[in-house]
Amino acid sequence: MQEKLIYLFSAVAVGWAVTFALRLLPFGLFARSSRKTQTSLAKFGEIVSPVVIGGLIVYSFSTLKLDGAPAWRTFWPYLAVALTVALHLLFRNSLASIAGGTVFYMLLVGFLGCTSLPSSIEFDARNPVVRISGAGVTFAGQFVAPEKVPRLLRHYDIPLERTIHIHISGGLHDLRPARQLMAILCRAGYRRPVLVTERTARSEAVKPDTGKFVRPPVEPRRKVYR
Amino acid sequence: MPGRKKRIVIARRAFVDTLPVMAGYSTMGFAAGVLMAVAGDVPMAPFWAGLCALAFVSGTLSFAIVPAIQSGMGLAGIALLALSINFRYAFYGVSMVESWRGMPFFRKWFLIHSLADEIYALDVSCRLPNVHDRRFYSLCNHAFNFFYWVAGTTAGGIAGASLKLPSKGIEFAMTALFTVIFTDQIKYLCRKN
Contact A63 B171 (CB under 8 A): yes
Provide, as residue numbers in chain B, all residues whose Cβ is less than 8 Å from the Cβ of A23. Answer: 86, 89-90, 92-93, 112-113, 115
Range B160-171 average pLDDT: 79
Distance between CA atoms of B92 and B113, rounded to whole angstroms? 12
Given this model, what pLDDT does residue B151 score?
A: 94
Q: What mean pLDDT, rounded, does chain B reach? A: 87
**What's the gap in Å between the CA of A76 and the closest CA on chain B?**
10
Of A61-70, A195-204, B49-58, B149-158, the range with the lowest mean pLDDT is A195-204
Q: What is the pLDDT averaged over residues A97-118?
A: 79
Asked if A152 and A164 count as a contact pair (C-beta separation under 8 A), the reply is no
B55 vs B85 pLDDT, higher one: B55
In this complex, the residue of B42, B94, B176 whose CB is nearest that of residue A102 is B176
pTM of the model: 0.66
Give me the pLDDT at residue A120, please: 43
Q: In this structure, what are the phi and psi dihedrals at residue B41, rounded to the nearest 5 degrees?
A: -95, 30
Q: Give which of A192, A193, A188, A220 is closest to A204, Cα–Cα.
A: A220
Mean per-residue pLDDT, B103-111: 91
CB within 8 Å of chain A, chain B residues 16-75: 23-24, 27-28, 31, 41-43, 48, 51-52, 55-58, 60-61, 63-65, 67-69, 71-73, 75
Beta bridge partner(s), residue A45: none
Phi, psi of B104 (to 5 degrees): -60, 145
Tell me how close the Cα of B7 comes to any Cα of chain A, in angstroms: 26
Mean pLDDT, residues A106-117: 73
CA trace torsion A169, A174, A177, A179 (10° rounding): 100
C-alpha A179 chain-centroid distance: 28
pLDDT at A226 over 60: no
DSSP string, chain A: -HHHHHHHHHHHHHHHHHHHHHHHHHHHTSTTS-HHHHHHHHHHHHHHHHHHHHHHHHHHHHH-EETTEEGGGSSHHHHHHHHHHHHHHHH--HHHHHHHHHHHHHIIIIIS---S-GGGTT--TTS-EEEEETTEEEETTEE--GGGHHHHHHHTT--TTSEEEEEEPTT----HHHHHHHHHHHHTT-SEEEEEEHHHHHHTPBPTTT-PBPPPPSGGGGG-B-
Q: Is residue A118 very low, low, confident or very high in pLDDT (cuts 50, 70, 90)?
A: very low
Rounded to a whole number of angstroms, the distance between the first and last alpha carbons of chain B is: 41
Nearest to B168 among A41, A44, A109 (CB): A109
Q: pLDDT (tens digit, 9 = 90+) per residue, B111-130?
A: 999 998 888 888 888 888 88
Euclidean distance between CA atoms A47 and B176, whole angstroms? 21
